[in-house]
Amino acid sequence: MDAKDMEYLTIALPKGKLFKLSSNLLAKIGYEAEGLTEKSRKLVITNEEKKIRFIITKTADVPTYVEYGAADIGVIGKDVLMESGKDVYELLDLGFGRCHLMMAVPKSERREKLTDYTHTRVATKFPHIAEMFFTRQGMQMEYIKLNGSIELGPIVGLSESIVDIVETGTTLKENNLEEIAYIMDATARLIANRVSFKMKFDRISAMVKDLRAILESEAETCES
């Protein structure tokens, strides 16, 4: 890590659903930069005064930037983090972006038991998590990796089922799919590169402390 890298804290933010929630939360502890919006075509946005660099990346790429140290810190959903298998520190559960991973099938073609789907095709963005789940059930499956609109898989006969995230349940409902197995919960996490965490320990731990304080005060406000 050269002197310039040491001077700045680089934070990777994912495009998409988590962007606004992440940047709003970081702004509350003073981590902000002019022009930091999801639509920005500028890939690196710097706050010179506070020595913070933001990079905006494809959601699935955040763990990669952090693992290689191209970003010191990142915000990413637990689902994507787990699927990536990247070796990073998970510092804090940020609580937002709550969803769960599950297996769903067309309502009209529901089979009696989960194991009745053994050796069928499952469409998913999360083949590793899906495989871990099905292996635990003693089931061998054929995994078809898709990058979006997963629900389309069983509708057009690409697969018998899907493994995907559910937030509100609207997409399942609108496509006549039914959840038949729960896999795991997921929320957004703050992650750090292992070397950065040691080299920039004071700065990163102060950031975590401030974020934790904000999250706790918001949780109290919700309860009262």
Binding positions for ligand PRP, rule: CB under 6 A: 148-151, 164-171
**What length does the chain have?**
224
Choice between 38 and 216, CB closer to ligand PRP: 38
Instruction: Give the position of tokens 């499952």.
Output: 122
Minimum CB–partner distance for residue 165 and ligand PRP (Å):
5
- The pair of structure tokens assigned to 148 is 């979006």
Minimum CB–partner distance for residue 10 and ligand PRP (Å):
25
Minimum CB–partner distance for residue 99 and ligand PRP (Å):
7
Choice between 14 and 74, CB closer to ligand PRP: 14
Choice between 42 and 58, CB closer to ligand PRP: 58
Whether the CB-CB separation of 101 and 126 falls below 8 Å is answered with: yes
Minimum CB–partner distance for residue 172 and ligand PRP (Å):
6
- The pair of structure tokens assigned to 200 is 């920039």
Instruction: Give the position of tokens 């010191």.
Output: 72
- The pair of structure tokens assigned to 119 is 């050796």
Indicate the Cα dihedral angle 143, 165, 146, 41, nearest 10°.
-150
**156: enclosing H helix or E strand:** none
Choice between 168 and 224, CB closer to ligand PRP: 168
- The pair of structure tokens assigned to 47 is 């706050």
Minimum CB–partner distance for residue 67 and ligand PRP (Å):
22
Choice between 19 and 197, CB closer to ligand PRP: 19
Q: Angle 128-55-95 (CA atoms, 0-180°, nearest 5)?
A: 55
Q: How many angstroms separate the first and last alpha carbons of the chain?
A: 46
Choice between 170 and 221, CB closer to ligand PRP: 170
Minimum CB–partner distance for residue 2 and ligand PRP (Å):
37
In the chain, count H helices and then E strands. Answer: 9, 11
d(CA 88, CA 222): 31
Closest residue to ligand PRP, Cβ-based? 148
